[in-house]
Amino acid sequence: MPLLQFNLVKDAWTKEQVQTILDSAYDVTLKTLGAPQGDRYQTVSYYDPDDLIMGDTGLGFQRSEKRILLNIRTRPRTREQKINFYHQLMEQLHDKLRLDANDLMITMIVNTDEDWSFTSGKAQFLTGDL
């Protein structure tokens, strides 16, 4: 936990590049959100370009086929943690993949301990198992 859900344009990335995206996000999650080692939950969904619509919200920029929409479900985080996550992930993806800053959009959806069951139909945060 957190759960990172990546939405990408189909055929815009190689398998190796997608792995770099996932590994970079995991690294940043450990560093900025305080997730413990091995706490890795990630999914990747692929869309035709016309099915992954990411406007500029009136900010006046363009996005490319390399656009990434990342949805994160997480326990509450501080404002500083969120800002650091956004910034550090962008830096890593730019450094490793030359990702344009306009091509990354991140949303964080906050939930609480009772919203997680990792196995066996139990709420491990509530039972004290975690």
Dihedral-angle region of residue 2 (phi above 0 means left; psi in -120 to 50 means alpha; beta otherwise): beta
Residues that are catalytic: 2
Residue 23 has, within 13 A of its CA and on its CB side, a CA count of: 8
**Does domain 3-127 bear CATH number 3.40.50.740?**
no
pTM of the model: 0.92
| Tens of pLDDT, residue by residue, the chain (130 residues) | 799 999 999 999 999 999 999 999 999 999 999 999 999 999 999 999 999 999 999 999 999 999 999 999 999 999 999 999 999 999 999 999 999 999 999 999 999 999 989 999 999 989 999 8
